[in-house]
C-alpha cells in the first residue's frame, strides 16, 4: 500500500481552482472523504462518512448557490490528466466506465456512449465524474474471519459477502484476502495462496500493474480480467487455494465459480443485494445459492458505518433465509 | 598583388560554402522528413502494441531517432505535456512545432503537414489514433518524395551556382 495520502495522488489531476478548494479542506472532512462528485453545470459535491457536503471556493457551504460550479472543461481537464493526455492508453477501462488511479483510487465516468453493435466503443463528452477515494482498513475483516476460516479443518469456507453499494463489501473482501494470504503464525493459521480476479481494479487497486493496496504476501492478482475467464486462468496457472473476486452476477460467473469449486479452491466473493429476495432474483446467484455452493453468506450494511455485519447465514439458517427470500418474491 | 589573390580565394570559398549550404539544406530537409515519418511509425507502434501513454511514448521514440532536430521536437512536445496548463496533446504538438521550427530545414508546407499530425492526438481510441497517425505518415511520405526529387534536381545546381557566382564576382573584381 502506498503511504501517500489521497490528496497527494488526486489533487495534481484537478484544475487549479478545484485543487485550491481541496487543499484548504477541513482536516476532518479530508480524512473522512469517500467520493468527489463532479457533474458538468452542477455544484461541487463530496461524500464523506457523515453524508453529502457541498463545496464552495472557501470550503463547505450550506447554500447551493454558494457552491463551486463544475464546467465541462473541468471534466475534460481531469480526464486528460488521468489518462496522461492519452485516451487510447486507457480506452479499455473507459469503455467500462472507470479509470484506476495511483494509490488504488478510482474514477467513474458518465457521458455519451458510442456503441458498435452491442459493445461500447467509446465514452465521450464526459458529463459526470465520480472519484472514489480508496481506503484500506487493515483488520476490518478480523471480526468475520472466524466464520470464513475453519481452524479445525484449516480450510477457507466458500463465502459470499452481500450488501447494498458502499457498505464496505470490497474493503472487507480485500482485508480477508490479506489476512488469508499472510496467515498468522502465532495463531497457527497458515498462509494461503490467494488468487484475486480484479475485474475493475478495485480490490488490489493495480496501477500500471503494481498493487496499490495491500492484499497479502501470497496473493496473485489478475487485473482487469473478466471474472469468469480470470478464475479459470488462475486455476490453470497459479494453483490458488483461495479465489477472491468482486461482484458476481453474470451467468458465466456462476459457471466459473462452480468449476473453481470443483478444483478444490475456496471461493470468496461479493454480490450486490440487501437481502435474499434481491439475490435470488438474479438467476446466476440463485443457482449458486440454491445449489449450496456457498457455505456462508455474510450480510453487511452501513448501519454503524461501512462494514457493519448484519447477519451471517450458514447451513440451516442459510436455507431458511433463502426460503424466506423465495416466498417474498412469490408474494 | 597577393592581397588581391587572397581576396579572390576568400570570395570563392565563401561562394562555394554558400552553395554547399543550400545543397545541404535540401539534403537535410529530406532526412528530417524521413525522420519524422519514422517517428510517427514508432509512435504508432508504441500506441498500437503497448498503449504507452504519450509522454513515455515520445520519450521512447526520441531515444530511437538519429536526428537531433526531430528529437528536440519530441522533447518539446513532452515538455509541454508536463505543464498542467496545457489543454491537450494537440496543443502541445502545435506549440512544439512553433518552438522547434527554427532548428530544422523544413519548408512551411512541411510544417503544415507535421502540424496536421496533431489532429486528435491523445484524444482518440486506439484504433482511431493509429489510423490518424497512419494518415499523417502518408502525407509526410508524399512530402518526403517531393523533397527527395527537389534535392536530386537542385543539389548540384546549388553547388555549381555557388562556385560560378564566386568566380563571377572574382572575375569582375579582378
Cell 440451516 locates to A316
* pTM of the complete model: 0.79
CB-based burial label for A139 (10 Å; 0-12, 13-18, 19+): exposed
For range A300-305, the mean pLDDT: 90
Residues 116-135 of chain A with CB under 8 A from chain B are 121-122
Q: How far is A203 from chain B (nearest CA, A)?
A: 23
- Radius of gyration, CA atoms only, chain A: 21
Distance (Å, whole) CA A129 – CA A108: 6
3-state SS of A116-129 is ECCEEEEEEEEEEE
The residue of chain A nearest to residue B128, with distances taken between CA atoms, is A88
Distance (Å, whole) CA A91 – CA A16: 26
With cut-offs at 50, 70 and 90, classify the pLDDT of residue A1.
Answer: very low
Distance (Å, whole) CA A57 – CA A59: 6
Answer whether residue A209 shows pLDDT above 50.
Answer: yes
User: Residue A70 carries which DSSP code?
Assistant: P
pLDDT attached to residue A330 = 66
For range A314-323, the mean pLDDT: 90
Angle between helices B2-50 and B54-63 (to 10 degrees): 130
User: Does A17 contact B at CB distance below 8 Å?
Assistant: no
Q: How far is B135 from chain A (nearest CA, A)?
A: 17
List CB contacts of A90: < 8 A, sequence separation 6 or more: A82, A83, A99, B51
User: pLDDT tens across B13-33, in order?
Assistant: 998 888 888 888 889 999 999
- Report which of residues A107 and B159 the model is more confident about: A107
For range A133-144, the mean pLDDT: 92
Kindly list the distances between the CA atom of residue B71 and the CA atoms of A277, B59, B129, in Å, as whole numbers in the listed order.
63, 9, 21
- Report which of residues A83 and B158 the model is more confident about: A83
User: pLDDT tens across A41-60, in order?
Assistant: 999 999 987 889 999 988 88
User: Residue B102 carries which DSSP code?
Assistant: G
Grid cell in block for residue A305? 458505518
Answer whether residue A4 shows pLDDT above 70.
Answer: no
Report the phi/psi class of residue A103: left, alpha or beta, with left for phi > 0 and alpha for psi in -120 to 50. Answer: left
- Radius of gyration, CA atoms only, chain B: 21
For CA atoms B101, B104, B107, B112, the dihedral sign is negative
pLDDT attached to residue B122 = 92
> Within its chain, how far is the Cα of A295 from the centroid?
22
* Secondary structure element (H or E) that encloses residue A244, with its range: strand A242-245
- Chain B residues in contact with A84 (beta carbon < 8 A): 53-56, 81
Are the beta carbons of B125 and A84 separated by less than 8 Å? Answer: no
With cut-offs at 50, 70 and 90, classify the pLDDT of residue B7.
Answer: confident
Do residues A86 and B128 make contact, with C-beta atoms less than 8 angstroms apart? no
Other C-beta atoms lying within 10 Å of the C-beta of residue A48? 18
Answer whether residue A3 shows pLDDT above 50.
Answer: no
Amino acid at each position: 500500500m502506498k503511504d501517500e495520502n489521497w490528496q497527494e495522488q488526486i489533487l495534481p489531476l484537478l484544475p487549479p481552482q478545484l485543487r485550491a478548494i481541496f487543499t484548504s479542506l477541513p482536516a476532518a472532512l479530508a480524512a473522512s472523504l469517500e467520493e468527489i462528485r463532479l457533474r458538468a453545470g452542477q455544484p461541487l459535491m463530496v461524500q464523506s462518512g457523515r453524508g453529502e457536503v457541498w463545496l464552495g471556493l472557501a470550503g463547505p457551504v450550506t447554500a447551493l448557490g454558494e457552491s463551486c460550479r463544475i464546467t465541462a472543461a473541468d471534466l475534460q481537464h481531469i480526464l486528460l490528466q488521468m489518462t496522461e493526455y492519452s485516451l487510447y492508453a486507457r480506452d479499455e477501462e473507459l469503455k467500462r466506465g472507470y479509470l484506476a488511479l495511483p494509490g488504488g483510487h478510482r474514477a467513474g465516468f458518465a457521458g455519451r456512449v458510442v456503441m458498435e453493435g452491442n459493445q461500447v466503443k467509446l465514452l465521450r463528452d464526459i458529463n459526470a465524474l465520480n472519484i472514489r477515494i480508496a481506503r484500506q482498513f487493515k483488520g476490518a475483516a478480523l471480526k468475520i474471519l472466524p466464520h470464513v476460516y475453519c481452524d479445525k479443518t484449516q480450510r477457507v469456507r466458500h463465502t459470499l459477502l452481500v450488501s447494498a453499494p458502499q457498505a464496505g463489501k470490497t474493503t472487507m473482501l480485500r482485508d480477508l484476502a490479506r489476512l488469508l494470504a499472510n496467515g498468522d503464525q502465532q495463531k497457527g493459521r497458515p498462509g494461503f495462496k490467494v488468487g484475486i480476479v480484479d475485474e475493475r481494479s478495485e480490490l488490489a487497486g493495480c496501477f500500471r500493474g503494481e498493487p496499490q493496496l495491500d492484499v497479502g504476501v501470497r496473493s496473485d492478482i489478475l487485473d482487469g480480467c473478466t471474472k469468469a475467464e480470470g478464475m479459470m486462468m488462475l486455476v490453470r496457472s497459479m494453483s490458488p487455494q483461495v479465489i477472491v473476486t468482486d461482484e458476481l452476477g453474470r451467468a458465466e460467473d456462476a459457471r466459473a465459480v462452480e468449476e473453481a469449486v470443483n478444483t478444490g479452491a475456496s471461493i470468496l466473493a461479493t454480490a450486490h443485494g440487501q437481502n435474499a429476495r434481491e439475490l435470488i432474483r438474479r438467476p446466476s446467484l440463485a443457482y449458486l445459492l440454491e445449489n449450496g455452493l456457498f457455505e456462508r453468506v455474510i450480510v453487511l450494511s452501513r448501519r454503524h458505518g461501512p462494514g457493519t455485519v448484519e447477519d451471517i447465514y450458514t447451513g440451516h439458517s442459510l436455507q431458511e433465509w433463502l426460503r424466506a427470500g423465495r416466498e417474498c418474491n412469490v408474494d | 598583388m597577393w592581397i588581391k589573390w587572397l581576396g579572390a580565394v576568400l570570395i570563392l570559398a565563401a561562394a562555394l560554402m554558400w552553395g554547399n549550404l543550400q545543397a545541404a539544406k535540401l539534403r537535410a530537409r529530406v532526412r528530417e522528413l524521413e525522420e519524422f515519418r519514422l517517428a510517427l511509425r514508432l509512435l504508432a507502434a508504441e500506441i498500437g502494441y503497448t498503449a504507452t501513454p504519450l509522454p513515455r511514448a515520445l520519450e521512447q521514440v526520441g531515444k530511437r531517432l538519429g536526428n537531433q532536430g526531430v528529437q528536440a521536437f519530441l522533447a518539446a512536445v513532452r515538455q509541454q505535456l508536463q505543464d498542467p496548463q496545457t489543454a491537450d496533446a494537440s496543443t502541445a504538438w502545435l506549440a512544439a512545432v512553433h518552438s522547434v521550427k527554427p532548428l530544422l530545414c523544413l519548408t512551411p508546407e512541411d510544417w503544415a503537414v507535421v502540424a496536421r499530425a496533431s489532429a486528435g492526438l491523445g484524444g482518440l481510441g486506439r484504433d482511431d489514433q493509429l489510423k490518424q497517425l497512419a494518415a499523417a505518415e502518408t502525407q509526410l511520405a508524399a512530402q518526403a518524395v517531393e523533397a527527395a526529387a527537389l534535392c536530386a534536381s537542385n543539389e548540384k545546381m546549388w553547388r555549381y551556382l555557388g562556385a560560378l557566382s564566386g568566380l563571377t564576382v572574382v572575375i569582375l573584381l579582378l
